[in-house]
Amino acid sequence: MPSHDVQFDAPFTSWACSCGEGGEQRPGWPAGYQIVEHGVVTTAPLLPLLRESQLVTAMRLSVAASRPHSVAAVELLIGNGFWLHDRRVRTLLRGGWDAGRLTVRVDWTAVAQALGVVDEALRTIKWSQARPEWMADVLDAWSGMPDPETAIPLTESEASDVMLLRYATSIAGGMPVTLSNLGSHHLDPHDRELVMEAIQRIATNR
């Protein structure tokens, strides 16, 4: 298997990977987009083969330099465990490379879409008085998306896990979490504890 260690110049005009791929920045494309795309394409065959421990390591590495919200959301999924094995969520994971090491990030926009909470999220953003330029990014990402290939309905048997995934999605997006739901029957005691830990993680900035 070739190694993937990507180098690029700053400001971004070209990139080169140790596997031999590389090129110039495409005019009009976001800087670094090709690196992200290269990561997604070259890791796609690996993702279905990952053992849980490898997936956890790669997920943690993907948020190692991120803000506490991102870490808390990922730790919520790891602590709950259910979604690491779920085939629908596995299709919403995106691989990449960090100095040759595999990273796996969660495509939270796609998760929100699969959960059917996009409208809810947009309403929340509206009421949270988010910065307009940030809202524009979110709207761009969500508007015009096709119907989700995977749907994760709030079914009886997985209700607590689905609620937890909804919380993780809210947290990842930096959107306010409806605390009143923590007392509902949808979240089992262990999951409720994990959500509280996630909120505490953000509050204490760890």
- Residue 17 or 165: which CB sits closer to Zn ion? 17
Spell 26-60 as b/e; 16+ CB within 10 A means b.
eeeeeeeebbeebbbebbeeebeebeeeebbbbbe
47 binds Zn ion per the rule CB under 5 A: no
Residue with Cβ nearer Zn ion (7 or 128)? 7
Q: Which is nearer to Zn ion, 62 or 80 (CB)?
A: 62
User: Which listed range, 4-12, 98-106, 121-129, 131-139, lies at the site for Zn ion (CB under 5 A)?
Assistant: 4-12
Smallest gap, in angstroms, from Cβ of residue 32 to Zn ion?
14
Distances (CA, A) of 105 to 39, 71, 84, 125, 190: 11, 11, 12, 23, 24
Question: Judged by CB under 5 A, which of 15, 17, 73, 168 binds Zn ion?
Answer: 17
CA distance 127 to 102: 38
15 binds Zn ion (CB under 5 A): no
Rounded CA gap, 34 and 44, in Å? 15
> Taking CB under 5 A as the rule, does residue 4 contact Zn ion?
yes
Q: Does 46 bind Zn ion (CB under 5 A)?
A: no
Minimal distance, residue 192 CB to Zn ion, in Å: 42
Give least dist CB 157 to Zn ion, A.
41
Radius of gyration of the chain (CA): 18
Stretch touching Zn ion by CB under 5 A, among 9-17, 26-34, 107-115, 186-194: 9-17
| Sites for Zn ion among residues 21-40 (CB under 5 A) | 21
Q: Are 173 and 122 in contact (CB under 8 A)?
A: no
**Pick 98 or 158: Cβ nearer Zn ion:** 98
Between residues 44 and 139, which has the closer beta carbon with respect to Zn ion?
Answer: 44
DSSP letter for 154, please: -
User: How far apart, in whole angstroms, are the C-alpha atoms of residue 12 and residue 23?
Assistant: 11
Per the DSSP assignment, residues forming a β-bridge with 94 are: 105
Residue 19 in contact with Zn ion, rule: CB under 5 A: yes
CA 98 – CA 58 distance, rounded (Å): 10
What distance in Å separates the CA atoms of residue 35 and residue 178, rounded to the nearest whole number? 36
Among 17-25, 65-73, 84-92, 142-150, the segment contacting Zn ion (CB under 5 A): 17-25
User: Which positions touch Zn ion (CB under 5 A)?
Assistant: 4, 17, 19, 21
